Structure 1
Amino acid sequence: MNSRSADAPRVLTAAIPDGNQIFSWIRDLTAFSGRGTQTLDDRRSVDYLLAKFAGFGLTDIQVQEADSLHWHATRSELSVGGTPIPHSPVAFSFDSGDGPFAAVKGNGRFSTGPDGITAPIVDVGEGQEDDFAEANVDGKIVLFNLRFVLPRRALLDAGKFVYDPHGTVNPSDLDTANPYLSNFEDVVERAIKQGAAGFVAVLADYFESHDIRTEYKPDVTIPGLWITKSAGAQIRTLSAQGVSAATLRLEGERVSTPARTVIGFLPGLSSDTIMIQSHHDSAWQGGVEDASGTAEVLALAHHYCQVPQEQRPKTLMFVLMDSHWTGYQAHQKFVETFITAPGLPRRIVANVTLEHIAKQAEVGPGGSLQVFDRPEYRGIFENVSPTLKDAIDNAVTAHGLERTVRLDADELVPLMGELPTDAEFVFEAGVPTISLISGPLYLYDKADTLDKVHKPDLAPIACAFIDIVNHLAATPSDRIGN
């Protein structure tokens, strides 16, 4: 496959891994299910990636460790009126209040006690302030609808460039929201402030699964459980029949564990450095999140190792993070070490982040997960110069990355509160960023298996981002940002 768009700077021809090769790395990584900080003191993916970096020929290969926190439940139960309700624990709920960065007290165990919490269950619906004003939740278990609040429509409408040459955007898909942003924090904060003993979150916008593990949320000091939309309807039917007593039980432990970031370099003609990033940890198999992004970083590392140093105008730095799910401690330590510390030997002048090469999914009949053999809508968040914006658009077009929208990060971050990608801390540190991501419905779910990866896009995405990196490398460093 041609690795150059029409205007890309010329470099010596170097092979690019094909889709089968990239997919094989994804397959290898998914064998390490629950990798990184999701499994206590886990080195499986780190050791695999170190071997790949060494085999490709990267230099100054290193592992940076940061203190993070492993959380797991050893037992959970939910029943209403004696009727068992299927559920999953909300990860990092029942925090003791000392926060994830504090030393774990004792053995770090948490428990609702041998008999759990038995209390009336109070339905606050959407969990708005008015809903809580009409309910007394003190000492009770709160039931609420978890809502996803970032529909595809909002991102497409905000796009500065949308590539959909075959008109595949379906208006009926545009109200589907990805699970990254939700009403969770607002509702749970209200429940805690008003004295609730625990909560049950109904996955009202989800397919029929409660096997969801979202990213770390701070200050969730009461126990919580996820249930499906149908289980929520079951509880509400029981409540309508006068059954209100619920029993919630949650036991487990929080344990300090190291997060490990894998780093490797390719020296260029300048110490000015382009950082190419993803994250290797996952709550489940994580075929899409984020074995796919990690494999794309490997593809670029494999390619650039074949390009002579005299044809690399800038140094390249390949970074695969940990703690994406457990508090981003690895990301913060990386920024402190390689970006904001004074007197650094290398200056990171640009960031490229690659995440989630995904198939589209919708809620199908009967609440089923309906997966389609086409790419999930995806965004490229950027804050680079007009010339580099054109380079992104040209690369997307040249390599046929359909259903891709380019988004102005500087405009959207104030509205969203953060950059919704793994590059957030690097972006906030002032590094110009080009960050590819998609948000399929199953992103945080056990259903994120190898078959959800959109394999036909693997090689084209690698080729497109080689074009983009080549443009970054040829651009004077002080002209990369907006």
Structure 2
Amino acid sequence: MASKPADAPLSDRRTTAGPDGDQIFAWIRDLTAFSARGTQTLDDHRSVDYLLGKFADFGLTDVQVQEADSLHWHATRSELSVGGTPIPHAPVVFSFDSGDGPFDTGKGSGPFSTGPDGITADIVDVGEGQEDDFAAATVDGKIVLFNLRFILPRRALLNAGKFVYDPHGSIDASDLDTANPYLSNFEDVVQRAIAQGAAGFVAVLADYFDSHDIRTEYKADVTVPGLWVTKKAGEQIRTLTAQGVSAATLRLEGERTTTPARTVIGFLPGVSSDTIMVQSHHDSAWEGGVEDASGTAEVLALAHHYSQVPQEQRPKTLMFVLMDSHWTGYQAHQKFVDTFITAPGLPRRIVANVTLEHIAKQAEVGPGGGLQVFDRPEYRGIFENVSPVLKSVIDSAVAAHGLERTVRLDADELVPLMGELPTDAEFVFAAGVPTISLISGPLYLYDRADTLDKVHKPDLAPVASAFIDIVDHLAATPSDRIGN
């Protein structure tokens, strides 16, 4: 059979077998065995070595690790009691930024401590933490109690969608108000508390399931100590304060250190040095089956697939990138952009970015307050700012491979409203690279509950196949016609 011309989409002339869902899941299982793959940890080192080995096995070239100074924050002790009653809790990671400088300068290394006796002060409940709530309270020298609220419900993303794929009518109005934990009122409330002299804070996870084991992404300038408590623990505190108990003791000790983040990079050269970048992040706060062993394994699936395509049938070079520091300030992402995108005279020009994150099962807060997980895909978005022709390619790939509950979103419209692209592609997107970024935001995303069983295994091969179709068309599209 005659081969298709080199400028035809690779999907029209594909000779390799499609992605194997069992193999993708096996890679996820391997990665989750490196539990808590956070920057600086031993398992972060092991996962990097594992990924380097996979890139080498696939025959990628110029395989390398790029290091960037990032941060490690570790609590050695925390306590919370109200009127002598112990309250279950967890430390707010990267709170108590009381070092010599802000973390993102790498100068904030060293120990932190509330002292041997902790902080004992009145606890002041500011409810939702709005300006009016603070105006009605005196928090100087006190411990502030507030409700942490998630502020990006599924409904908002679906309403903003330019294309929604739900052929079986599975979208349920009853769960559209569930919000993912990425965007919250945390920064606004905590900065109000700090500005008014609060000695510390306790954040009640009011929209969460019955867990305080949440580790959100890095937040800057949180100069006072903070703790998470569950909704039930928050009710316990409020019951005590309603009984006239106001004194609370908060203790937090630990250490922060400057530490290298490691990004794994490999290439498959093509006919042109114009380059399509395929990205995820390999680090995790916990076991991270969904975030982001699943995204990392999808990148491996695409790297494996294209390694079997002869170079003369790859119109553009392919670059596979597995980032670090997603949880600790994105320093690795910034250094990558400085090195491979914005530096002058580069041998390769990155003309498109594809980012893959979070192949997840849907979850809700269950009737008893626990986590209820369903054997169906979490709602997911594809943020993009590519040409109308490529928008149609995305829609067709989603439908052809049955990626139900997927919404395509115009990144150029939404980013000014949201303040940033809410995916791992933010820094590449901000540098001007046309981007197609798949992500979902299940409720457990930042929690210890993000274990291997939360991965929606039936979607692993279809997601890879859909994005092979998308990458094929990116490769066949003239570079100056990829973006909007």
Q: Same fold (TM over 0.5)?
A: yes
Specify every segment of 5 or more residues in structure 1 that has no aligned partner in the other structure, as ranges.
1-5
Q: Which residue of 2 aligns with 1:334?
A: 336
* TM-align CA RMSD: 1.2
Kindly state the Cα deviation for residue 296 of structure 1 after the two structures are TM-superposed: 0.1
Which residue number corresponds to residue 302 of structure 2? Answer: 300
Partner of 1:80: 82
Give unmatched runs, 5+ long, in structure 2.
1-7
Shift of 1:102: 3.3
Match of 1:64 in 2: 66
Aligned to 1:441: 443
Provide the residue aligned with 1:227 in structure 2.
229
Determine the C-alpha separation between the residues in 2 that align with 1:400 and 1:449.
Answer: 25
| Contact 2:40/2:259 (<8 A) preserved | no
In structure 1, the residue matched to 2:276 is 274
Separation in structure 2 between the aligned mates of residue 40 and residue 141 of structure 1, nearest angstrom = 35
- 1:38–1:448 CA distance, 2 compared to 1 (3 A): farther
2:102 partner amino acid: G
Q: Distance in 1 between matches of 2:95 and 2:232?
A: 23
Deviations 1:77-134 (A, max 9, x none): 00000000000000000001511133446x7100000000000000000000000000
Whether the 8 Å contact between 2:70 and 2:328 is mirrored in structure 1 is yes
**Which one of the candidate residues 241, 248, 251 is aligned to 1:239?**
241
- Structure 1 residue ranges, 4+ long, deviating more than 4 angstroms after superposition: 6-9
Q: Is 2:346 aligned against 1:344?
A: yes
Q: 2:409 aligns with which of 404, 407, 414?
A: 407
Q: Which residue of the partner structure matches residue 254 of structure 2?
A: 252
Q: Distance in 1 between matches of 2:220 and 2:198?
A: 17
Distance 1:8 1:156, change over 3 A: farther
Report the AA paired with residue 389 of structure 1: K
Could you tell me which residue of structure 1 aligns to residue 212 of structure 2? 210
What is the identity, as a one-letter code, of the residue corresponding to 1:86?
A: P
Equivalent residue in structure 2 for 1:14, among 8, 16, 23: 16
Q: Which residue of 2 aligns with 1:126?
A: 128
2:420 alignment partner AA: E
In the aligned structure 2, how far is the partner of 1:30 from the partner of 1:244? 43
Superposed counterparts of 1:285-324, under 5 Å? 285-324=287-326
The answer to whether the 8 A contact 2:35-2:43 is kept is no
Helix, strand or coil at the partner of 2:49: helix
* Aligned with residue 93 of structure 1, among 92, 95, 117: 95
User: What is the match of residue 3 of structure 1?
Assistant: none
Deviation at 1:11, TM superposition (A): 2.8
**Aligned-pair distance for 1:17?**
3.1
Q: Distance in 2 between matches of 1:369 and 1:103?
A: 37
Asked if 2 retains the 8 angstrom alpha-carbon contact of 1:36 and 1:259, the reply is: no
State the Cα deviation string for residues 322-347 of structure 1 (Å, max 9, x = none).
Answer: 00000000000000000000000000
CA deviation profile, 1:134-187 (whole Å, cap 9, x unmatched): 000000000000000000000000000000000000000100000000000000
Residue 18 of structure 1 and its aligned partner are, at CA, apart by 1.0
1:283 to 282, 285, 301: 285
Residues 36 and 44, structure 2, Cα contact 8 Å, conserved in 1 = no
- Letter of the structure 1 residue corresponding to residue 383 of structure 2: F
Shift in Å at residue 14 of structure 1?
1.1
CA contact (8 A) 2:9 2:472 kept: no
* Alignment-mate amino acid for residue 104 of structure 2: F
Distance 2:38 2:185 in 1: 27
Aligned residues of 1:16 and 1:302 also touching (Cα < 8 A): no
2: CA distance, partners of 1:38 / 1:452:
25
Local SS of the residue matching 1:365: coil
Aligned to 2:105: 102
Percent identity for Structure 1 against Structure 2: 87
Q: Deviations over 1:43-88 (max 9, x none)?
A: 1110000000000110000000000010010000000000000000
**Alpha carbons of 1:154 and 1:38: their partners in 2 closer, same or farther (altered >3 Å)?**
farther
Residue-by-residue CA offset, 1:179-216 (whole Å, 9 max, x unaligned): 00000000000000000000000000000000000000
Shift of 1:12: 3.5
Report matched runs for 1:33-182 at 5 Å.
Answer: 33-37=35-39, 39=41, 42-96=44-98, 98-104=101-107, 108-182=110-184
What CA distance in whole angstroms lies between the structure 2 residues aligned with 1:161 and 1:83? 52
Q: What amino acid is aligned across from residue 184 of structure 1 in structure 2?
A: F
* 8 A Cα contact 2:162 2:408, kept in partner: yes
CA distance in 1, matches of 2:442, 2:25: 19
CA drift of 1:271 comes to: 0.3
SS of match in other structure, 1:220: coil
**Equivalent position SS for 1:342:** coil
Distance 2:38 2:191 in 1: 29
Count of aligned positions? 476
2:120–2:247 CA contact under 8 A, matched in 1 = yes
Q: Is the 8 A contact 1:40 1:257 kept in 2?
A: no
Q: Which residue of 1 aligns with 2:479?
A: 477
